[in-house]
Amino acid sequence: MKINIGSALNIAFTRAVRDAPAAQPDLTDPRPYLARGRRRWRRRYGFCSRW
């Protein structure tokens, strides 16, 4: 079985970023959205901690 880490990271990041506007609809700054995606990476896969 081959595991494609890049695709898995993209899926996790995209889901986190898509969920952000639903949680805070008045937020227009993209930095918190991106921070959610990076936290999802770290929580799910345990790396990318330098971001």
Asked if the model's pLDDT at residue 47 lies above 70, the reply is no
In-domain check, residue 46: no
Q: Tell me which of 50 and 4 has the higher pLDDT.
A: 4
Structure tokens at 14: 């995209």
The radius of gyration of the chain from alpha carbons, rounded to an integer in Å, stands at 12
Whether 32 is in a domain gets the answer no
More confident of the two residues 5 and 12? 12
* Residue 16 forms part of a structural domain: yes
Residue 43 confidence (pLDDT) above 50: yes
Note whether residue 19 is domain-resident. Answer: yes
Handedness of CA 4, 5, 7, 12 (dihedral sign): positive
Domain that residue 6 falls in: 1-27
Any domain includes 20: yes
Quote the number of domains for the chain: 1
Mean pLDDT for the stretch of residues 22-26: 82
Q: What is the pTM of this model?
A: 0.58
Residue 51 lies in a domain: no
